[in-house]
Amino acid sequence: MSTFAAYAPYYDRLYREKDYAAEAAFVLGLVRGHCTQAESLLELGCGTGAHAECLSASGMRVHGIDRSLEMLERARARREQLSGEIAERMVFSPGDAREIRMQESFDAVIALFHVMSYQATNQDLRQCLATAKHHLKPGGVFVFDCWYGPAVLSDPPQVRVKRWQDEKSRITRIAEPMLHLGENVVDVRYTIFASDRLSSRTEVFEESHRMRYLFRPEIEMLASSESLEIMEAREWMRGTEPGVNSWSACFVLRG
């Protein structure tokens, strides 16, 4: 069973407050700031396709890949509900960000919502960077966000609870982190309680996600091994450089 398989049906409801349109605009600004004529992009770890929808609505051709078949099923269902032009600019395929190799190249590659932090080992990171490099046109850019090491160490992760409900169902997700300082990773154990309010039936399941927090020097070193260069680093959704209060940072690499 892939990561996100268990609670893929509840994913969009748990992140209902996430401003995908603003995030897509932020990322598109970074892409076009370095590649002004960008028209196509590859999204590694596209999830349920919410970013892809917003980027397609902005005129980009988007090819999203994800290794979770459950998430891809929802991305394709999203596409089917969209108008012709937007839907026509979106394609979704199964694939592992570390391994997929297609014949097509793109103006940009993106990996959002901490996809790169799911690459928990140096080898995973190198392979993912190699994937980005392989699919970039000359002068193209790779934009990704990640858990930022200085902030994670300054403000260590805590137990968090997220809740959602409507007239039919109620969902509670508990995230319990365990920090492994020697490996630069956090193991997050998710426990999800999904209740049907009409039948009073509750389903309980767990998933464990290993997350890597990253520092600029290691990103620079790993990127250079794949002939990628850091063009800029920012606090996620802001114009400032990331610091000890920037749990989420984003980087722009040029191929």
pLDDT in tens, 34-56: 999 999 999 999 999 999 999 99
Residue 235 pLDDT greater than 80, yes or no: yes
pLDDT of residue 8: 72
Residue 212 pLDDT greater than 80, yes or no: yes
What residues contact 121, with CB distance under 8 A and at least 6 apart?
A: 212
Better pLDDT: 164 or 247: 247
The residues spanned by each domain of the chain are 8-147+215-254, 152-211
Residue 220 pLDDT greater than 70, yes or no: yes
pLDDT of residue 255: 87
Domains 8-147+215-254 and 152-211 are alike in CATH topology: no
Kindly report which listed range (70-74, 81-85, 199-203) carries the lowest average pLDDT score. Answer: 199-203
Please, which pLDDT band fits residue 83 given cuts at 50, 70 and 90?
confident
CATH classification (class only), 8-147+215-254? alpha beta
Residue 5 pLDDT greater than 90, yes or no: no
pLDDT of residue 227: 97
* Residue 14 identity (one-letter amino acid): L
- Note the pLDDT tens digit of each residue in 151-177: 999 999 999 999 988 888 899 999 999
* Residue 234 identity (one-letter amino acid): R
Across the strands, what pairs with 211?
186
From the options 1.20.59.10, 2.20.130.10, 3.30.420.10, 1.10.150.120, give the CATH code of 152-211: 2.20.130.10
CA trace torsion 32, 35, 38, 43 (10° rounding): -80
pLDDT of residue 139: 95
pLDDT of residue 196: 86
Q: What is the mean pLDDT of the chain?
A: 94
What residues contact 77, with CB distance under 8 A and at least 6 apart?
A: none
pLDDT of residue 176: 98
What residues contact 102, with CB distance under 8 A and at least 6 apart?
A: 42, 63, 135
pTM above 0.85, yes or no: yes
Going by their DSSP bridges, the two strands 136-148 and 248-254 should be labelled as antiparallel
> What's the mean pLDDT in 85-90?
97
pLDDT of residue 3: 58
* Residue 102 identity (one-letter amino acid): M
Query: What number of other Cβ atoms are within 10 A of residue 8's Cβ?
Result: 19
pLDDT of residue 73: 95
Percentage of the chain exceeding pLDDT 70: 97
Distances (CA, A) of 18 to 21, 24, 51, 181, 205: 9, 11, 10, 29, 23
